């Protein structure tokens, strides 16, 4: 039985994880799956209470005693330095070696796309490297606060790290029938890092002759994703570029409230989290869109081999959007709880994936 740690975290994280939990419990009651759900008290409240972000023992337990984590969001105005978020989220990514950050963005209804010429369908699936690049914290400052200040932030990339994310993207495309994988980099300026990415992309790509392959500079990609997003399918890129490009992909497919993500070390450990943050501006008002978190449940089901039930989650989400059963960010007037209840009920009714 997979054991899942639920970490609601801060702000709207608490509200959206409540709805994800509702769905998991409904599925536990009605389906062949049987997830053990254990709620964890990590976040700003705990940090402010006892000064602890997350302990080594807690990391060890998450790694050894759990099969996956579902995280809501971390971030609270009372912790302006965001220490707890850095320790917990970056700590999990690094210590659990969750090297794949998978961010699938699917356009569920044409009216959700802010572009003028809306493509018929859109499925942009980003594989963002998650354990190195510009996120290692390597670097430093010198003569801080003076006119001669120097600031260095290293972009650290290893052959191992680059190869495993590129391989994950190709393997996904191969097993899921995707036709194109696009590498995004800035190899015209970052010749060392970009050179490594390009070489490894070409080498790994040789093993997938049936998949169309191309490489784009990140600036050109930003333009092209707005101009003709339908050209792209699977995107593979570094930690920093993946952060940016996947937000753009999320926005052109309906916005942050809909986007899920999976941080994975495939076969070992996975952490699922909606792409959005804790949104302090709407926290506690029961109006956050729970769909990003609910789609995380869909990704989790897929990860544990229940792809068909995962597709039904996607279908129920699509139905809620089609029928206008949405929160205000998508133009509806339902609460977080209403949307969560509607989607859970829709799935529990046994609605097939094709509806
Ligand atoms: P962080 O720094 O943690 O990413 P943030 O406040 O900068 O936090 P988000 O929390 O992602 O960024 O929110 C950005 C904006 O999008 C906010 O104004 C918020 O109201 C809106 N938003 C984010 N998530 C949702 C959601 N699930 N439902 C509705 N609106 C959302």
21 within a domain of the structure (yes/no): yes
The count of structural domains within the chain is 2
pLDDT above 80 for 34: yes
DSSP annotation string for 166-218: HHHHHHHHHHHT--EEEEEE-TTT-HHHHHHHHHHHHHHHTT-TTSEEEEEEH
pTM above 0.85, yes or no: yes
Nearest of 236, 304, 266, 278 to residue 96 by alpha carbon? 266
Same domain, 122 and 20: no
17 pocket-lining for ligand 1 (C-beta < 6 Å)? no
Same domain, 241 and 341: no
pLDDT of residue 130: 96
**Bridge-partner residues for 9, per DSSP?**
73
Provide the mean pLDDT of the chain: 94
pLDDT tier at 350 (50, 70, 90 boundaries)?
Answer: low
Nearest of 106, 104, 71, 97 to residue 85 by alpha carbon? 71
Same domain, 135 and 156: yes
Same domain, 239 and 122: yes
Same domain, 194 and 208: yes
Closest ligand 1 atom, residue 282 Cα: 20
Which residue among the candidates 87, 243, 302, 329 is catalytic per the annotation? 243
Cα of 84 from ligand 1 centre, angstroms: 18
- Known catalytic membership, residue 143: no
288 within a domain of the structure (yes/no): yes
Same domain, 154 and 64: no
pLDDT of residue 353: 46
179 within a domain of the structure (yes/no): yes
Domain that holds residue 36: 1-101+254-355
Which pLDDT tens digit goes with each residue over 122-148?
999 999 999 999 999 999 999 999 999
Domain end residue (candidates: 252, 285, 301):
252
Which pLDDT tens digit goes with each residue over 306-316?
999 999 999 99
Domain end residue (candidates: 227, 252, 277):
252
Cα(107)–Cα(112) distance, rounded to whole angstroms? Answer: 7
Domain CATH number, residue 26: 3.40.718.10
Could you give the count of Cα atoms lying within 13 Å of 279 in the half-sphere of its Cβ? 21
Cα of 277 from ligand 1 centre, angstroms: 5
107 within a domain of the structure (yes/no): no
pLDDT above 60 for 215: yes
Which pLDDT tens digit goes with each residue over 70-103?
999 999 999 999 999 999 988 888 889 999 999 9
Same domain, 74 and 144: no
The residue among 93 and 218 whose pLDDT is bigger is 218
């Amino acid at each position: 039985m997979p054991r899942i740690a639920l970490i609601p975290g801060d702000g709207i994280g608490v509200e959206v994880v409540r709805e994800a939990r509702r769905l998991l419990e409904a599925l536990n009651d009605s389906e062949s799956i049987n997830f053990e759900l254990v709620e964890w008290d990590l976040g700003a409240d705990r940090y402010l209470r006892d000064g602890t972000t997350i302990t080594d023992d807690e990391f060890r337990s998450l790694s050894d005693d759990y099969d996956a984590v579902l995280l809501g969001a971390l971030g609270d105005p009372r912790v302006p330095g965001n220490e707890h978020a850095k320790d917990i989220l970056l700590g999990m990514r690094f210590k659990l070696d969750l090297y794949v950050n998978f961010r699938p963005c699917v356009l569920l209804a044409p009216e959700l796309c802010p572009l003028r010429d809306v493509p018929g369908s859109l499925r942009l699936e980003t594989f963002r490297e998650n354990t190195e690049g510009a996120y290692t914290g390597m670097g430093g400052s010198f003569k801080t606060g003076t006119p001669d200040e120097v600031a260095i932030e290293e972009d650290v990339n290893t052959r191992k790290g680059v190869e495993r994310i590129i391989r994950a993207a190709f393997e996904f495309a191969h097993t899921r029938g995707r036709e194109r994988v696009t590498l995004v980099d800035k190899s015209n300026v970052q010749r060392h890092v970009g050179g490594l990415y390009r070489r490894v992309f070409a080498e790994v790509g040789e093993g997938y002759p049936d998949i169309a392959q191309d490489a784009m500079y990140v600036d050109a990609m930003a333009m092209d994703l707005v101009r003709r997003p339908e050209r792209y399918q699977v995107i593979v890129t570094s930690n920093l570029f993946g952060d940016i490009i996947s937000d753009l992909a999320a926005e052109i497919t309906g916005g942050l409230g809909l986007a899920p993500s999976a941080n994975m070390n495939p076969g070992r450990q996975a952490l699922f989290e909606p792409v959005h943050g804790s949104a302090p501006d709407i926290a506690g008002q029961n109006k956050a869109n729970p769909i990003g978190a609910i789609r995380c449940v869909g990704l989790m089901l897929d990860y544990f081999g229940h792809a068909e039930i995962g597709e039904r989650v996607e279908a129920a989400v699509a139905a809620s959007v089609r029928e206008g059963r949405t929160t205000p960010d998508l133009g509806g007037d339902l609460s977080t709880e209403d949307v969560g209840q509607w989607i859970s009920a829709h799935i529990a009714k046994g609605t097939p994936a094709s509806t």
